[in-house]
Structures are given as C-alpha cells and as structure tokens.
C-alpha cells in the first residue's frame, strides 16, 4: 500500500470541515491589511510626513522591538503597513500551525483518524493532507492580501512581497506544527509547543531589530518571523528571502515524516509514564482537580510572562535615551501613556500584558465548556459536588491564573527596569501596582465567558470574538478616530494608566462590580440549565 494513499480524500474532508472557518480567517486578514493600508495612506500623503513618522518609529527601541524596523522611510507602502508586517506574520503563522494540528494530532487523539486508518489510508496521508490544506490556505491568504493592497493603490511588486511575507511565516510554522504534532499524544501539548516557538521567534526578532547599529542584528535572522520581515515589502522586495522558510520547511517536514515512520498511530514520541496508583490526600475537591488540570499551562504562561516582563522593563530603561526628537515623544505619549516617557512606555506595555493575560483567562474559563462536552463534568456532578462548586473551581483557577500572570509580568518589568534605573526599591512596587490595576478589566472579560457558559453555552466561543473586538477598538480606534463612546465599550479603555498616570478608584470598582455581576449571572443560569 502506498504511504500517501487517501491523501486527496482527506484533503476534501478537511476542506469540507473548514469550509466556513478558513474563508472567514482569510477575510479577516485581507480586511485587516486593506483597511489599515487605506487608513494610513491618507495619514502620510507627502514623502516628508512619511520620513518623519518613520524616523520617529525607528528611533524608538520600544516600537522597533514591537513592530520591527522601517527599512525605507520614503516608502508609502512600508510606512503604512509596518505595524502589520511582523505582527501579522505571527498571526498567520499561528493560523497555519493550528490548521496542521487540527487535522493531524487532534484527529489522532480523538480516535477519528484510527477509524479512517482502517480504510485505505497511507501512513503519511494525514500529515500530507493537513500540510496541503494549511499551505494552500496561507498562499491564498497571501495572494488575496496582495491583490487587496494593489486595490487600495499600493505598488504591485511590493504588495506581492507583502503577501509573501505573511505566507512565508505560514509556511515556516506549518512545518513547525508538523513536527510538534508528532511529539506527544495530546493536541494541547502540540499547540503549546507551537506557542513557544512563535513566542521565541517574535522575541528573537525583537531583540535583533532593537539592537544598535553594528550590534547583534543578525539575531533576527534566527527567527522565521525575522525572515518574513527581511523580505522587506515596499523596500526592496527581496523575494528570494522566501528560500529560508522553504528550506526550513523541507528540513522539518522530512523530520516529521521520519518521526511518523517510527511511531504507532495514536502514540507520541514521548511515551506517557505510569503515574501514582492512588490519589494524593489533597486531591479531594473540585478545586484540587481544577488545579491539577490548569497548573501545567499556568506554569508555561507564567514563565513567559516573567520573561516578557524582563524584556519590557529592559527596553523601558533605554527609552529616554533613544527618543530624542519631539515628534517621537509625542508619538510614544499618544500610545497611551501620560507623563514621563519611560512610564508611558511601561504603562502601554502593561496594557498589552493585560490583553495577553485576558487570553489566558478566556482559555482557562473555556475549560468549563470543554469539560462539559467531553462528558467529564457529568461524573463529578453526579457526586456530592454542587454545580456552583464545580463552576467555581474552574472560574477560581481562571481568575487566580490571570492574577499570577499579570503580577509576574509586573515583577519582571519592575526588577529589570528598577535594576537599570537604579531604583529597584520603588520601581518593583510601582510595577506591581501597575500590574494589579489591569486585573478588573481582565476579570471582566473572563467573566464574559462564564456568562456565556450559563446563558448560551453553544455560543461560548463568541467570547474570543468580543475579546478581539475590544482589542481592535483599543489598538485601531484612535487611528480611525472612532467616537470615544464607541471605544469606551472596551473594558480596557477604563483601566487607569499606571505607572505615571492618575489613579481613580471609580472605574476600577465599576469594572470589578460588572465582572462579579456577569459571573454571578453565569452561575445562576448554569444552575438552571441542562448539562450536556
């Protein structure tokens, strides 16, 4: 039997399963690029405007590390789109990788692949079909993005280079996912490995880009996201750089095939070890179980937050020295800060950490629904555990987890900025306060998941949609000059800007009260509905 037999059938199956979600994602990306380009083009009609904006950005290590360097300050396309280049590449990489895992390890873990394997199906068919679907998705995405950018009036060559930038990241991370899916038996672990790879790539690029002239800028070249950016759309259009992700793809995909050859269907490279025959005395409550279920991912996220905090704090210590021009200062202050350039940078970064912690909170609270649909809630609720205690256990883990994460971020940034500014004693408590102040908004967004869980469990993933809407309102609202009333819908708009800004208790209390009301409504409705 051919090792690839059945690949085309699986491709059709995958396309059928993804017929809604993939086109929607492609549209989101294309729309994001086109609307952002359109909005920015009108901001910089003259070369002079672009050059000054680009120099402002290039002279700020914070912006360079966040978005990357602008290679050609005169280029309309690059100045308009630089914020989306590496950031978008990160997201396209995530999409491509998730698609691969979805059609390989997830299928294997649930046993659906085994059902199919009994038919005529080669051992490489699942991975091959997943790669075909993922690669086609990013290629179509890149192509449509390029066409939409040409449509809003940008040069054709640069637009194709921009599409290729995004697609290149997709190719590289589809290949990363192909290997990650072979390592363990759980799709969750595979997704975790991918998240780590994406994070490391982004940080490497940020480190390399923010290095000074003649410094370690080569570090960016260790990162697939760095490669994507080095295609330099609208600033040289170096199409050949795409050979780097392609080479990585050849290496990783061959490795993945070699790994498949060595393992059984359903098994991972890492064999699960036997565990204890009896439960520890502490495993005697829903909360203890919830801690067991959440702690692994919390450790990983916690490490990431501490690291991010250090990086952010480190960059912050340079801000004052680097930003010399008045326009740069204006820009950084516009980013959300209030007084003192370093503080405004730190408060903006703390806001970003707050968004990331919210993503953790949403994901942790969504566990409620996945436990329910996997029929793992039922046996617990058939014991002496009340619905309130069971729901409370996961909500407590979500709220506690977000608290731990944001405080770790605050601690890391406090230590590293305090160390270089030589005021550790005051900087650490200031940053911890700045971190803590993010919590009410984070908890409100987490509580939205609880509300949906009680009220409309089938629509629970809409919580991600609301979250993305809040983020877009916050990030792009000012660019599009949206009315303040609309931007105020986002809970993040009400978080006081710390450190440096004025602290007012009222909005914080309001956010916390609304979060509590949402969570309680979720609990009340959950107690009244059917399980399953």
DSSP summary character for residue 504: -
Interacting residues with another protein between 156 and 195 (CB under 8 A): 185-186
Query: Can you give 178-245 as a three-state secondary structure string?
Result: HHHHHHCCCHHHHHHHHHHHHHHHHHHHHHHHHCCCCCCHHHHHHCHHHHHHHCCCCCCCCHHHHHHH
Nearer to another protein, 227 or 301 (CB): 301
Candidates 40-48, 78-86, 141-149, 522-530: pick the segment binding another protein (CB under 8 A): 522-530
Question: Is 283 an interacting residue with respect to another protein (CB under 8 A)?
Answer: yes
Instruction: Find the binder of another protein among 20, 214, 278, 458 (CB under 8 A).
Output: 278
Asked if 388 and 454 count as a contact pair (C-beta separation under 8 A), the reply is: no
CA angle 424, 428, 430 (to 5 degrees): 120
The rounded distance, in Å, linking the Cα atoms of 501 and 336 is 10
Minimal distance in Å, beta carbon 517 to another protein? 25
Question: Is 329 an interacting residue with respect to another protein (CB under 8 A)?
Answer: no
**CB contact set of 53 (below 8 Å; sequence gap of 6+):** 43, 44, 79, 327, 331
Candidates 74-82, 361-369, 378-386, 404-412: pick the segment binding another protein (CB under 8 A): 378-386
Question: Is 108 an interacting residue with respect to another protein (CB under 8 A)?
Answer: no
Asked if 406 and 353 count as a contact pair (C-beta separation under 8 A), the reply is: yes
The rounded distance, in Å, linking the Cα atoms of 308 and 350 is 10
Candidates 302-310, 319-327, 372-380, 446-454: pick the segment binding another protein (CB under 8 A): 372-380
Question: Is 530 an interacting residue with respect to another protein (CB under 8 A)?
Answer: yes
Nearer to another protein, 172 or 377 (CB): 377
In terms of Cβ atoms closer than 10 Å to its own Cβ (0-12, 13-18, 19+), residue 215 is exposed
Asked if 305 and 358 count as a contact pair (C-beta separation under 8 A), the reply is: no
Question: Which tokens is 114 given?
Answer: 């085994």
Neighbour-count burial for 372-407, b at 16+ CB within 10 Å, e otherwise = beeeebeebbeeebebeebbbbbbbbbbbbbbbbbb
Minimal distance in Å, beta carbon 191 to another protein? 14
Question: Is 331 an interacting residue with respect to another protein (CB under 8 A)?
Answer: no
Length of the chain: 532
Nearer to another protein, 384 or 485 (CB): 384
* Dihedral angle computed from the Cα positions of residues 161, 164, 169 and 172, in that order, rounded to the nearest 10 degrees: -130
Instruction: Find the binder of another protein among 139, 259, 381, 487 (CB under 8 A).
Output: 381
Nearer to another protein, 215 or 296 (CB): 296
Nearer to another protein, 109 or 349 (CB): 109
Instruction: Find the binder of another protein among 119, 275, 425, 485 (CB under 8 A).
Output: 275
Signed CA dihedral, 384, 293, 400, 365: sign only: negative
Question: Is 259 an interacting residue with respect to another protein (CB under 8 A)?
Answer: no
Minimal distance in Å, beta carbon 187 to another protein? 10
Question: Is 458 an interacting residue with respect to another protein (CB under 8 A)?
Answer: no
The contact mask relative to another protein for 71-100 (x = CB under 8 A, - = no) is: ------------------------------
Question: Is 293 an interacting residue with respect to another protein (CB under 8 A)?
Answer: yes
Nearer to another protein, 262 or 271 (CB): 271
Question: Is 385 an interacting residue with respect to another protein (CB under 8 A)?
Answer: yes
Candidates 57-65, 268-276, 301-309, 350-358: pick the segment binding another protein (CB under 8 A): 268-276
Instruction: Find the binder of another protein among 374, 462, 479, 489 (CB under 8 A).
Output: 374
What DSSP string describes 249-281? HHHHHHHHHHHHHHS-TT--SSPPPP--SS--T
Interacting residues with another protein between 471 and 500 (CB under 8 A): none
Question: Is 379 an interacting residue with respect to another protein (CB under 8 A)?
Answer: yes
Minimal distance in Å, beta carbon 385 to another protein? 5
Question: Is 151 an interacting residue with respect to another protein (CB under 8 A)?
Answer: no
Candidates 8-16, 220-228, 242-250, 286-294: pick the segment binding another protein (CB under 8 A): 286-294
Nearer to another protein, 274 or 485 (CB): 274
Minimal distance in Å, beta carbon 185 to another protein? 6
CA angle 76, 80, 81 (to 5 degrees): 120
Question: Is 286 an interacting residue with respect to another protein (CB under 8 A)?
Answer: yes
Minimal distance in Å, beta carbon 400 to another protein? 19
Which uninterrupted H or E stretch holds 370? Answer: helix 341-373
Segments of 287-393 assigned E as strands: none
Query: Residues touching another protein: how many (CB under 8 A)?
Result: 39
Question: Which tokens is 252 given?
Answer: 């990783």
Instruction: Find the binder of another protein among 334, 376, 426, 486 (CB under 8 A).
Output: 376
Q: Which of 494, 491, 498 is nearest to 435 (CA)?
A: 498
The rounded distance, in Å, linking the Cα atoms of 340 and 353 is 20
Q: Which residues bind another protein (CB under 8 A)?
A: 109, 185-186, 272-280, 283-286, 289, 292-293, 296, 374-376, 378-387, 389, 528-532
């Amino acid at each position: 039997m051919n090792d690839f037999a059945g690949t085309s059938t699986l491709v059709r199956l995958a396309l059928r399963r993804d017929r809604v979600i993939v086109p929607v994602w492609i549209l989101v990306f294309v729309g994001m690029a086109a609307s952002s380009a359109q909005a920015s083009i009108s901001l910089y009609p003259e070369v002079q405007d672009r050059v000054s904006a680009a120099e402002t950005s290039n002279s700020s290590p914070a912006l360079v590390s966040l978005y990357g360097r602008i290679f050609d300050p005169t280029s309309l396309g690059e100045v308009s789109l630089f914020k989306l280049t590496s950031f978008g590449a990160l997201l396209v990489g995530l999409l491509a990788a998730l698609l691969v895992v979805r059609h390989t390890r997830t299928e294997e873990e649930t046993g659906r692949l085994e059902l199919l394997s009994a038919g005529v199906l080669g051992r490489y068919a699942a991975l091959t079909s997943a790669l075909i679907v993922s690669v086609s998705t990013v290629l179509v995405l890149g192509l449509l993005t390029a066409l939409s950018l040409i449509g809003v009036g940008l040069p054709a060559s640069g637009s194709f280079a921009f599409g290729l930038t995004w697609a290149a990241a997709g190719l590289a991370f589809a290949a990363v996912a192909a290997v990650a899916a072979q390592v363990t038996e759980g799709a969750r672990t595979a997704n975790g490995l991918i998240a780590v790879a994406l994070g490391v790539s982004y940080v490497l690029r940020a480190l390399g880009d923010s290095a000074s002239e003649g410094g370690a800028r080569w570090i960016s070249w260790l990162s697939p996201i760095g490669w994507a950016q080095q295609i330099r759309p609208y600033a040289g259009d170096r199409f050949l750089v795409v050979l780097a992700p392609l080479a990585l793809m050849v290496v990783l995909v061959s490795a993945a095939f070699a790994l498949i050859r060595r393992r059984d269907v359903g098994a991972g490279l890492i064999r699960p070890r036997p565990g204890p025959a009896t439960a520890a005395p502490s495993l005697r409550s829903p909360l203890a179980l919830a801690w067991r279920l959440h702690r692994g991912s919390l450790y990983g996220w916690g490490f990431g937050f501490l690291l991010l905090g250090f990086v952010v704090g480190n960059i912050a210590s340079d801000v004052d020295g680097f930003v010399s021009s008045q326009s740069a200062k204006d820009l950084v202050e516009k980013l959300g800060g209030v007084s003192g350039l370093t503080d405004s940078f730190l408060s903006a970064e703390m806001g970003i950490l707050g968004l990331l912690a919210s993503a953790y909170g949403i994901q942790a609270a969504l566990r409620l629904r996945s436990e329910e649909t996997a029929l793992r809630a039922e046996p617990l609720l058939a014991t002496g555990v009340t619905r309130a205690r069971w729901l409370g256990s996961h909500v407590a883990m979500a709220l506690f987890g977000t608290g731990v994460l944001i405080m770790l971020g605050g601690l890391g940034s406090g230590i590293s900025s305090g160390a270089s500014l030589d005021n550790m004693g005051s900087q650490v408590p200031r940053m911890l306060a700045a971190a803590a102040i993010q919590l009410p908004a984070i908890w409100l967004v987490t509580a939205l998941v609880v509300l949906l869980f009680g009220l409309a469990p089938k629509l629970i993933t809409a919580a991600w949609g609301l979250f993305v809407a809040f983020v877009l309102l916050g990030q792009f609202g000012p660019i599009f000059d949206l009315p303040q009333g609309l931007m105020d819908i986002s809970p993040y708009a009400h978080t006081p800007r710390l450190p440096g800004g004025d602290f007012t208790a009222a909005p914080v209390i309001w956010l916390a009260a609304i979060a509590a009301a949402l969570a309680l409504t979720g609990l009340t409705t959950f107690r009244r509905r059917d399980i399953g």
